[in-house]
Amino acid sequence: MTDNPFFKTWTTRHGIPPFDQIKVEHYMPAFTEAMARHRAEIEAIAGSAEPPSFANTIEALERSGRMLGQVAGVFYNLCSAHGSDATRAVERELAPIMAQHSSYVGLHAGLFARVAALYAQREQLGLDAVQMRLLERKQLNFVRKGAALDGAARSRMEEIAARLAVLHTEFGQNVLHDEEDWALDLAEADLVGLPDFVREGAREAASARGRAGYCVTLSRSLIDPFLKCSPRRDLREAVHRAWVARGTHPGAHDNTQLIPEILSLRREQAQLLGYADFAEFRLADSMAGSPAAARRLADEVWPQALRKAEAEREMLAEEARADGLNTRLEPWDWAYYAERVRRARFAIDEAELKPYFVFENIQAAAFETARRLFNLDFVPCPDIAPYHPDVAVFEVQEEGRHVGLFVSDPFARVGKRSGAWMSAFRDQEALDGPVSPIIVNVNNFAKSNPTLLSFDDAETLFHEFGHALHGLLSQVRYPSQAGTSVRRDFVEFPSQIMEHWIAAPDTLRRFARHHETGAAIPDDLIARLLAAQTFNQGFATTEYTASAILDLELHRHPDPASLDVCAFEHETLARLGLPHEIGPRHRAAHFQHLFAGGGYAASYYAYQWAEVLDADGFDAFEQKGDLFDADLAAKLRGVLSSGDSRDPMELYQAFAGHAPQTGPLMRQRGLV
């Protein structure tokens, strides 16, 4: 196809994809050609008459598949952020094809033989530390994909991978279907008691769906403030029930029917590789090292979190009784009465705070934090055409030198997956010359005029920006070691430590400014905001930890094919003693971290593991008395720039000067 932009050299600024030229019909021909080229490259490496060397095998592998990476980078990013029925159809068609291609590479006997031969003689190859790590990781990845298995077992691994790819795609699309399918129309009378920013968000949500008036959709940035602010218990119940029911509706979009098969296939996969279950397999290659270690962290936090949550429940129940509620609290009551108690106890509420958290100002605060820590500047690029009018592109510079591009996609819309994430259209590398990264941050803030964020939204923006900095500051030679290509329970450390800077009083004074007057947030409001930081942490910690434990339990189940998913979920949470009024952060049927892909499968604990690191690491800045201490900032940059070229614990200790300790986490959450 001569008009297919994937078959041309891109002349766009800094090589950003030419979004305005790419059409849905370009994807399948581009994928077909890219996979064919990749196969030819693999066959050339595996079939070489030359004895295997680091250059002709490992580095050749690093160079292979570049067109495929380019096409996939565009397609999958846009499927998540700017999808349509047409792109979702392509995604379903591609799922087994891409899985088969991945298995072809990962299970290639001739290719693995060359890698294994190099691994066996690795000490005699004269490799530097980075090359040695790359070789060792290549060998391990081949083994974990099943390349060392016999022919029949290798074939079964390939079949499993292909089927899982289909199931993962169906799972994610089912959740998206339920999110797009549901909306609650609101009459003017239903808005009584809601702050202006919630009304404006509901109006924008209705407009985006072509409706008149107002509506609540299943966007977390609209759901959360509605549940906090609406005095209408019946409406809160309807919204909450719709939120937790995603993926559970009988029929074509029922994810409870997919989960047992996904779990069974993963368990079989693990057992083919010699592990008892999938959790044991997954965590063997992690900082934790085992499910037992991950569970120990959860068990250490759980009793204190549960005690705090139970005390919080009594406070909320007392507030509810004073409000005339004579029945027990329900899950749709918690956020509403927590907000009332927070207002009473700390003289602070969402409606008072939000006018100071204008999206553009908070993004500017993130950019300024990066400037002060890492000497980075974010320069707007209005001449670059993005893939949607809401999207903005920035050139990242250091002392005038090009570092990369940062793509900001902040607002919720139809066709966009819920949640927030960082991804890349291109990763940094320097194998054959410098290649700069093109990093994207996606959020789902409820768009309004102006867009006002909750403090949680502001923390989310800083969180994803931390991931972005991990990609932007990458300084590695080999593509597979770039940026966020690190172990799952380390990848959240850079993102979570960055959250701390939005709560810094200096940041708030400079950037939290009233959207109407431009006045800085008052010091007394900052003090009340920070004092309230440990409020409701029993709720936050238990809902998260319950999901992390549920994840591990699901992936350790001895007979997942027989699972009644909802019953198992209920029994597990009852055994933990999770209060009825709280519930897990994610129910299994819409737990996309686990089932819309394998990225966080048996690894959702990683956020808590990384929180130990981030609390301990930020404590080092606080101990210095300077949140922008140049020496510590340089050491933190060393973590972000190293990608997977060094062991994560080694990187952490080089930054913090000691092994991570749990004390700062427990203090941060008010659990001690």
Q: Which residues are catalytic?
A: 464
Distance CA 28, CA 25 (A): 7
Distance CA 502, CA 325 (A): 37
Tokens read off for 478: 């080999």
Contact (Cβ atoms closer than 8 angstroms) between residue 45 and residue 62: no
DSSP conformation class of 330: -
Please give the backbone phi and psi of residue 531, each rounded to the nearest 5 degrees, phi first: -65, -30
Secondary structure (3-state) at 553: helix
Tokens read off for 435: 């290649």
Distance CA 302, CA 308 (A): 10
Distance CA 416, CA 277 (A): 34
Of 228, 430, 253, residue with least CA distance to 338: 228
Residue in the block written with tokens 């903005």: 392
DSSP conformation class of 375: -
Contact (Cβ atoms closer than 8 angstroms) between residue 428 and residue 476: yes
CA distances from 588 to 172, 335, 644 (A): 12, 22, 31
Q: What is the separation, in whole angstroms, between the first and last Cα of the chain?
A: 64
CA distances from 70 to 77, 314, 461, 619 (A): 11, 54, 26, 40
Going by C-beta distance under 8 Å and a sequence separation of 6 or more, which residues neighbour residue 649?
287, 659
DSSP conformation class of 99: H
Q: Within 10 Å of residue 503's Cβ, how many Cβ atoms?
A: 17
Distance CA 618, CA 606 (A): 18
Of 665, 662, 635, residue with least CA distance to 651: 635
Distance CA 416, CA 419 (A): 9
Contact (Cβ atoms closer than 8 angstroms) between residue 230 and residue 193: yes
CA distances from 297 to 551, 610, 637 (A): 14, 11, 27
Going by C-beta distance under 8 Å and a sequence separation of 6 or more, which residues neighbour residue 466?
494, 495, 496, 497, 498, 499
Secondary structure (3-state) at 39: helix
Distance CA 422, CA 426 (A): 12
Distance CA 357, CA 195 (A): 15
Cβ-based burial of 252 (10 A; exposed 0-12, middle 13-18, buried ≥19)? exposed
Work out whether the CA dihedral 65, 66, 67, 68 comes out positive or negative: positive
Q: Within 10 Å of residue 377's Cβ, how many Cβ atoms?
A: 16
Amino acid at 385: A
Q: What DSSP letter does each residue of 205-232 carry, written as one string?
A: HHHHTT-SSEEEES-HHHHHHHHHH---
